[in-house]
Amino acid sequence: MLKQTGVVSQGLAWAPKAFKFDKVIAEIITVQGLSGLNVQKGPDDIKGLTKPTLFKTNEFTGVFQKIVDTYGIPSYKEVNPAVFTCISFPFFFGVMFGDIMHGFLLFMFALFLCFGKDGPDASVFRPLRYIFLLMGLFSFYNGLLYNDFTSNGTKIFGDGCWSVAEDAVAVAGSPGYYYATQADPDCVYPFGMDITWFRARQEITVMNSLKMKTSVIYGVAQMLLGTCMKGLNALYFKRYGEFIFDVFSQIFLLVALFGFMDYMIIVKWTTDWNAIEADTGKVAPGIIGSMILMFIQMGNKDPNSIEADVIPDQKSTMLLMLKIAGICVPMMLIANPIVFLMTHKKEKKHVTEIELME
């Protein structure tokens, strides 16, 4: 593993200064005394070499670091995504696996692992106890948000705020199936999903819509966080071309398209569409349909459409978002590769000069 130069054997090794570096020096001195060889320590740092990444972990962070390392190990001095993954990974699991009973069972199993005895006969699941603990906790919490107990609604927070009417269409083998028809204007459900939806024919439509839109909002926030970390890395390593033409373009493109869609989702959730329908005769719009019109017809709607606009000046806002996206795409596909090639040539020349010096 050593480079031979005459009678001299030269090798490079990495040792973290934060811990065990003094021990490495002591071992070098020991080897020199036992072998009679002349062992000398070279410079502490050699410019131009790619340094390996070392993250200090503990019983809690170790599992999350392994998850991140499975997809890719951050370069030396880059932002470590595992710090954020400690919360985001189990929380997104809870969004997917939101159930009061199943989340509680997973949480209790994790508590058993946490308080169990450590030893050679410890469970193979014990190293995963903290990630199981958070996954169970967030599953239980999201189950409360969904008001979901083994895929059935519960009356933990009381009766629903919606009036129900028996389904006029006979459904074989489905007695007691109702349509949720009108909300009590003075009633606000205390927490989570209204219990009425679990016995209404619109259950699947309403629940899937809620979970899909919630997942979109969380997903865009997650992608935006990752892009911001990429921007911090570019600033730290002084890769300003990448920061301007790549990171900025990605952020603006993400916000102009998917961030705008998230904004419309939240506005639709917080708007009283019954009042708008009573005043204008327009019904609540579909978010997916509005986004399709944004791309295909530049936000222009059919004049005879009965759907209301989600936001004021919707057409002009959509045109602005499309213009921003139209600027960002060529910056990423044309300007950024040119900057990357120019930077890569400089780095390659620098590495060649180091090899010639050796």
- Going by C-alpha positions, the residue among 23, 80, 6, 15 that lies closest to residue 44 is 15
What spatial distance separates the first Cα and last Cα of the chain, rounded to whole Å? 17
Per-residue confidence (pLDDT) for residue 221, from 0 to 100: 93
Rounded Cα distance, 335 and 244, in Å: 10
Rounded Cα distance, 92 and 90, in Å: 6
Largest CA distance in the chain: 97
Per-residue confidence (pLDDT) for residue 143, from 0 to 100: 92
Per-residue confidence (pLDDT) for residue 170, from 0 to 100: 44
pTM score of the predicted model: 0.77
Per-residue confidence (pLDDT) for residue 177, from 0 to 100: 56
Per-residue confidence (pLDDT) for residue 166, from 0 to 100: 60
In order of 92, 149, 214, 235, 290, the CA distances from 218 in angstroms are 8, 23, 6, 26, 20
Residue-level pLDDT, tens digit, the chain, 358 residues: 778 888 787 777 777 776 667 777 787 778 777 767 776 666 666 676 778 888 888 989 999 999 999 998 988 889 999 999 999 999 999 999 989 999 999 999 999 888 877 655 567 788 889 999 999 999 999 999 998 888 777 888 877 777 766 655 544 445 555 666 666 777 788 888 888 888 777 788 888 888 889 999 999 999 999 999 999 999 998 888 888 888 888 999 999 999 999 999 999 988 888 888 888 888 888 888 888 888 888 878 877 888 888 888 888 899 999 999 888 888 888 877 787 777 766 555 544 444 444 5
Rounded Cα distance, 59 and 133, in Å: 13
Per-residue confidence (pLDDT) for residue 333, from 0 to 100: 83
Contact indicator for 51, 76 with CB cutoff of 8 Å: yes
- Going by C-alpha positions, the residue among 67, 115, 71, 112 that lies closest to residue 93 is 67
In order of 3, 139, 256, 300, 332, the CA distances from 253 in angstroms are 49, 32, 5, 21, 10
- Going by C-alpha positions, the residue among 128, 148, 125, 141 that lies closest to residue 91 is 141
Per-residue confidence (pLDDT) for residue 23, from 0 to 100: 78
- Going by C-alpha positions, the residue among 215, 206, 239 that lies closest to residue 347 is 239
